Structure 1
Amino acid sequence: MVIPLLQCLYNPEQPFPAAGWDYEAILRDIELFSIGSQMYHLLKASGRIEQVPEFFGSRLKARHARATYHNLFMKHKEQEMLALFERHGLEAIPLKGIRFAEAYFGHFAARVTSDIDLFVRADRLDEAIACLESHGYDYEITKDHHARLHKDGLMAELHWTLDKREWSNLHTEPFWSSAVPLGDFRYVKQLSPLHTFYFICLHGARHQMDSVRYLIDIVQILHAKGGSIDYKQLVEQTTVDKTSRRIQAVLSIVYRQFPHLQAIKPLPFDTLETHWDYEMVRSARMGAKTKQYYLYKLFFRHFIFDTWKHQMKSIRKAY
């Protein structure tokens, strides 16, 4: 039930509200995917919060209020960490989180942030870890493509690349070379819209697009900064990085659920059959797994790779 509501919020040509909507069922799905803050923000931003039942708007408002309090704390902690890296002359780029919400949703509390993810230079990872340790963070583990530390329940992840090393030939330098300083910082930077979009798509693929959250993030970027995203450049970079099939899979899912995107940002390739379906993903989250679910899992585990080498690696270690 959430997808039709989102389609109306993102496409003003669709009638709103649609007749026959079960708002209690929509709320249950919103809770299931933990997207209450996003939905409230989108309803407010579109000027349609007054067009939904009062109980529906009130419940979303309450969730947004909790998200605001939580994200205020996260914003403060992220700012502390960024200032720390700046003082030590360590380049860092915030990924997802507060900065992403501010830049692409227009409000720091538009999506809940659970931890702090920073992109750091690979050759300065040890320095970045030591920097956080010197300020009370406890080192936990270095795994796949990030190091994890924590302090008083707050998790920080330092990424030196944006994909697991076994699954692609991803080059990080283009992400750094197109990044620009964030605000008044010199060493703290922000990704370009193109590379933010690329990263968010990779992030969704890594989680097999198993939540509506990943679809919302991608659609929101296209609506907020689509004019700054060059699909030709994206295709060229993903071809070099050997990640193109993953990006195609993710965008195939998004564009099938939000067909209006073809009119504002046409895909430069045909969509793939991923076996992704909203009801299937929803049912799986509640514990009911169908034959289609296993086809979808099989696709994302073994058939989203650009080369035989990476596909064979997925047999030994699932993506």
Structure 2
Amino acid sequence: MNPSLLQVLYDSQIELPIDSTYYWKLLNEIEKSNSHAQTYTIMKQGGRLEATPAFFQQELKEKYQTVIFQNILFKNQTNRILREFEERRIEIIPLKGTGFAERHFGHLGARPTSDIDLLIKPTDMNQAIDIVKSLGYKEERKQIPFHFHGSYNKVLPGSPIPLTVELHWDIVKQNTANFSIEELWKETSSLNGSLYIKQLSNFHLFYMICLHGWRHNMDSLKYFIDIIQLILNLDIDFKRLLEDANRHKTRKRIVRTLSIVYHQLPILHLVKEFPKVVSTSYDQRNTSIKKYVDFIDYSFLSYDSPKHSLIEFYHWLHPKY
């Protein structure tokens, strides 16, 4: 059996195939998840890229270079916004983005960025909205009740796609967990010596990335790669993770997400054992019925509290809520 992309990226004991057909299929898989830059960077860092066909290398390199140019724009725009918050003495945390690519993948162009995600304290949201609007961003749509972010767009000269800023005041829906965002803020640290620009602790970064992957039902390889990179690069306290998730009523979400990741890349058990791996329906998404079962499991059964499941079911029936 040919290795999966995750095995190619992270399992150095796996022998790379020589059949060019395999690499065309791999490129198709990479295209679906827009993970060319991550694949190029990780394979190059691991010394495996040179063992692949020239057409495969060229395709990855071209997309990687495109990501570099895009991320330079995102970084410049992000820094402009952050400077405004620093000058106005409002605390802010950039989430994911180009900083995440640089710190955890090793290069600005190692991971594509689609928007600018920023975490603001709920009490500062009105001022934050005023700042992004003063920089030319317009509200994309009215904020959804009980959700945790609002979107603001700006049209850039020569670009067919507007630049989007998402202002977050939380990382989970407030009425489907017992999580207090203040816990996260208490463990932040200064970013590059700034007084008001903060960064998440490694622990809360991992927590957020897992919840982010869960929220998208791990429907793209990019969510796997983000989580795996952090497992490899950070020393995450899984005992604390499960204890906190239990308090926050997010334990099922965390366990489900990490179980899927460990099932897809078993070599992770040798890197850092996750103590609560459970069986999931993720591997069985190959038929319509099994996809439906997985959707039900993800949408309504991965909540710790029956009350939270019922609330999410109500939100599903009434999307505007």
TM-score scaled by length of structure 1:
0.92
Distance in 2 separating the partners of 1:89 and 1:276: 45
Give the corresponding residue for 1:236: 243
Aligned with 2:56: secondary structure?
Answer: helix
Q: What's the offset of the Cα at 1:182?
A: 0.6
Seen in structure 2, the aligned counterparts of structure 1 residues 78 and 256 have a Cα distance that, compared at 3 Å, is same
Q: What's the offset of the Cα at 1:19?
A: 5.5
What letter matches 2:150 in structure 1? A
Among candidates 195, 215, 240, match of residue 204 of structure 2: 195
Among candidates 272, 287, 293, match of residue 291 of structure 2: 293
Aligned with 1:22: secondary structure?
Answer: helix
The reply on whether 1:156 has 2:165 as its aligned counterpart is yes
The reply on whether 1:274 has 2:280 as its aligned counterpart is yes
Deviation digits for residues 171-215 of structure 1 (CA, Å, limit 9, x no counterpart): 112211111111021111111111111001100111111111111
Seen in structure 2, the aligned counterparts of structure 1 residues 155 and 88 have a Cα distance that, compared at 3 Å, is same
Checking the alignment, whether the CA contact within 8 Å between 2:178 and 2:248 is kept in structure 1 is yes
Aligned with 2:4: secondary structure?
Answer: helix
Q: What's the offset of the Cα at 1:6?
A: 2.2
Checking the alignment, whether the CA contact within 8 Å between 2:3 and 2:14 is kept in structure 1 is no
Q: What's the offset of the Cα at 1:312?
A: 1.4
Among candidates 299, 313, 316, match of residue 311 of structure 2: 313
Give the corresponding residue for 2:159: none
The reply on whether 1:145 has 2:148 as its aligned counterpart is yes
CA RMSD of superposed structures (Å): 1.8
Q: What's the offset of the Cα at 1:135?
A: 2.3
What letter matches 1:303 in structure 2? L
The reply on whether 1:262 has 2:263 as its aligned counterpart is no
Aligned with 2:282: secondary structure?
Answer: coil
In the TM superposition, what are the counterparts of 1:169-188 in structure 2 within 5 Å? Answer: 169-188=178-197
Greater alpha carbon shift after TM alignment, 49-58 vs 231-240:
231-240
Deviation digits for residues 127-175 of structure 1 (CA, Å, limit 9, x no counterpart): 1111112222212332310121111111101100001123211111221
Distance in 1 separating the partners of 2:315 and 2:125: 25
Q: Which runs of 5+ in 2 are unaligned?
A: 156-161
The reply on whether 1:206 has 2:215 as its aligned counterpart is yes
Give the corresponding residue for 2:15: 16
Distance in 1 separating the partners of 2:261 and 2:103: 21
In the TM superposition, what are the counterparts of 1:110-149 in structure 2 within 5 Å? Answer: 110-140=110-140, 141-143=142-144, 144-149=147-152
Seen in structure 2, the aligned counterparts of structure 1 residues 113 and 2 have a Cα distance that, compared at 3 Å, is farther
Seen in structure 2, the aligned counterparts of structure 1 residues 222 and 2 have a Cα distance that, compared at 3 Å, is farther
Distance in 2 separating the partners of 1:75 and 1:3: 35
Aligned with 1:149: secondary structure?
Answer: strand
Give the corresponding residue for 1:166: 175
Checking the alignment, whether the CA contact within 8 Å between 1:3 and 1:257 is kept in structure 2 is no
In the TM superposition, what are the counterparts of 1:42-57 in structure 2 within 5 Å? Answer: 42-57=42-57
Checking the alignment, whether the CA contact within 8 Å between 2:7 and 2:14 is kept in structure 1 is no
Seen in structure 2, the aligned counterparts of structure 1 residues 309 and 22 have a Cα distance that, compared at 3 Å, is same
Distance in 2 separating the partners of 1:243 and 1:3: 32
The reply on whether 1:89 has 2:89 as its aligned counterpart is yes
The reply on whether 1:102 has 2:102 as its aligned counterpart is yes
Q: Which runs of 5+ in 1 are unaligned?
A: 284-288
Checking the alignment, whether the CA contact within 8 Å between 1:146 and 1:160 is kept in structure 2 is yes
Identical amino acids, percent of aligned pairs: 37
Checking the alignment, whether the CA contact within 8 Å between 1:205 and 1:247 is kept in structure 2 is yes
Distance in 2 separating the partners of 1:129 and 1:237: 31
Give the corresponding residue for 2:255: 248
Aligned with 1:123: secondary structure?
Answer: helix
Q: What's the offset of the Cα at 1:3?
A: 6.2
Checking the alignment, whether the CA contact within 8 Å between 2:37 and 2:67 is kept in structure 1 is yes
Distance in 1 separating the partners of 2:87 and 2:297: 45
- Which aligned runs of 4 or more in structure 1 are off by greater than 4 angstroms? none
Checking the alignment, whether the CA contact within 8 Å between 2:190 and 2:199 is kept in structure 1 is yes
Distance in 2 separating the partners of 1:259 and 1:57: 26
Checking the alignment, whether the CA contact within 8 Å between 2:249 and 2:304 is kept in structure 1 is yes
